[in-house]
């Protein structure tokens, strides 16, 4: 069992590395929107997998790969965010009421994207990134010596992540209500706060941070993907339901960030001083985007109320430790994880 889990997990990460090698040149040289999206998602999946391996690896072997993934993620992040914002605005660009405002914002975003591409090209080299991805092979050898710990590490982490996600979802839906979950505070721009910090903040103030819930859902999904690759199969309806929930949270975030961006551009360019009609149209557009965001929170809340308990139970049942894994192995995992956390600083996600 341990040998099979090691082989399957290693093969899964091998495939992610190869996919990243394929899409990075397309993302960095041709600005292919799909490649930018795929590369960013790939770095997140890899980071989730590497973080999961903390109890069975050393910082010496992890740090170079984590640094490379973080560089890619942070450089690709602004480009992906701009691509998404422009895409959403195309949905309203030809509406009579919001067309002019949407067209103006698209023009501003396209100019910003050109500048981001220039900055990216000046700071990041595709050949260098591709070469640094070779850091995975040292990690691969290291985990080979601790393969018996992989399954308990995976299952333990998955149950912890599921508990965190379910707890936050329940608090948001039953505590603050989907429509008031933002607590009246505008969400941060992408990259303003590390993902790990956002998740910790949500744990301290349950029901007030849907952005942290979204991040927790993404991390859980990446761990579920790794678990599926190592033989812990989930029923297809459960995967579908979970993706539907995560999709609603993703759209919520898209529309919130875009609404905030419209307001920021409006103020930065002092539109009120120059074109009062456009000023009113821009605020109407920002309001439309905010209402769309709130609708997506309500969609998530509805799915969670109807299916959340079932989805969580199905995941727990599928992710159990095999009988051949001894209690001693689980204790080894816990002890290793504790010593690792005491001996090194955490590198926050973004």
Question: Tell me: the pLDDT tens digits for 267-277?
Answer: 999 999 999 99
State the pLDDT at residue 45: 95
Give the mean model confidence (pLDDT) for residues 162-173.
Answer: 93
State the pLDDT at residue 203: 37
State the pLDDT at residue 9: 87
Confidence of residue 321 (pLDDT cuts 50, 70, 90): low
Confidence of residue 208 (pLDDT cuts 50, 70, 90): low
Q: What does the mean pLDDT of the chain come to? A: 83
State the pLDDT at residue 176: 54
Please state which of the ranges 93-102, 317-326, 336-345 shows the lowest mean pLDDT. Answer: 336-345
State the pLDDT at residue 335: 47
First vs last C-alpha separation in the chain: 34
Please tell me the pTM assigned to this model: 0.80
pLDDT tens, residue by residue, 102-140: 999 999 999 999 999 999 888 888 898 999 998 898 888
* Diameter of the chain measured on Cα atoms: 72
pLDDT for 148 beyond 70? yes
Rounded CA Rg of the chain = 22
State the pLDDT at residue 94: 86
Give the mean model confidence (pLDDT) for residues 182-207.
Answer: 39
State the pLDDT at residue 49: 92
Better pLDDT: 124 or 216: 216
Whole-angstrom distance, CA of residue 22 vs CA of residue 45: 16
Please state which of the ranges 50-64, 105-119, 135-149, 237-251 shows the lowest mean pLDDT. Answer: 135-149
Give the mean model confidence (pLDDT) for residues 50-63.
Answer: 89
């Amino acid at each position: 069992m341990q040998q099979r889990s090691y082989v399957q997990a290693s093969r899964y990460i091998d495939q992610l590395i190869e996919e990243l090698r394929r899409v990075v040149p397309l993302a960095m040289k041709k600005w292919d929107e799909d490649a930018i999206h795929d590369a960013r998602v790939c770095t997140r999946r890899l980071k989730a997998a590497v973080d999961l391996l903390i109890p069975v690896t050393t910082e010496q072997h992890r740090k170079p790969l984590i640094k490379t993934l973080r560089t890619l993620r942070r450089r690709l992040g602004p480009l992906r965010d701009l691509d998404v914002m422009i895409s959403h605005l195309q949905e309203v660009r030809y509406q009579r009421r919001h067309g002019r405002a949407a067209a103006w914002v698209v023009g501003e975003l396209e100019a910003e994207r050109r500048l981001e591409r220039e900055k990216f090209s000046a700071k990041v080299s595709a050949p260098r990134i591709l070469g640094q991805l070779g850091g995975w092979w040292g990690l691969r050898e290291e985990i080979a010596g601790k393969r018996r710990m992989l399954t308990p590490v995976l299952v333990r982490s998955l149950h912890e992540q599921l508990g965190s996600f379910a707890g936050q979802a329940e608090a948001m839906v039953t505590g603050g209500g989907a429509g008031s979950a933002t607590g009246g505070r505008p969400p941060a721009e992408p990259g303003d706060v590390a993902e790990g910090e956002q998740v910790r903040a949500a744990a301290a103030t349950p029901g007030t941070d849907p952005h942290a819930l979204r991040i927790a859902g993404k991390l859980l999904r990446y761990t579920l993907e790794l678990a599926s690759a190592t033989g812990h199969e989930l029923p297809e309806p459960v995967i579908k339901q979970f993706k539907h929930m995560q999709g609603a949270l993703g759209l919520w975030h898209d529309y919130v960030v875009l609404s905030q961006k419209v307001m920021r551009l409006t103020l930065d360019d002092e539109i009120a001083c120059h074109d009062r009609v456009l000023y009113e149209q821009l605020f109407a557009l920002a309001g439309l985007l905010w209402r769309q965001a709130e609708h997506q929170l309500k969609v998530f809340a509805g799915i969670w109320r109807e299916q959340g308990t079932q989805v969580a139970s199905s995941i727990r049942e599928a992710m159990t430790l095999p009988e051949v894994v001894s209690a001693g192995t689980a204790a080894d995992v816990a002890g290793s994880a504790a010593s690792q956390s005491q001996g090194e600083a955490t590198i926050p996600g973004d």
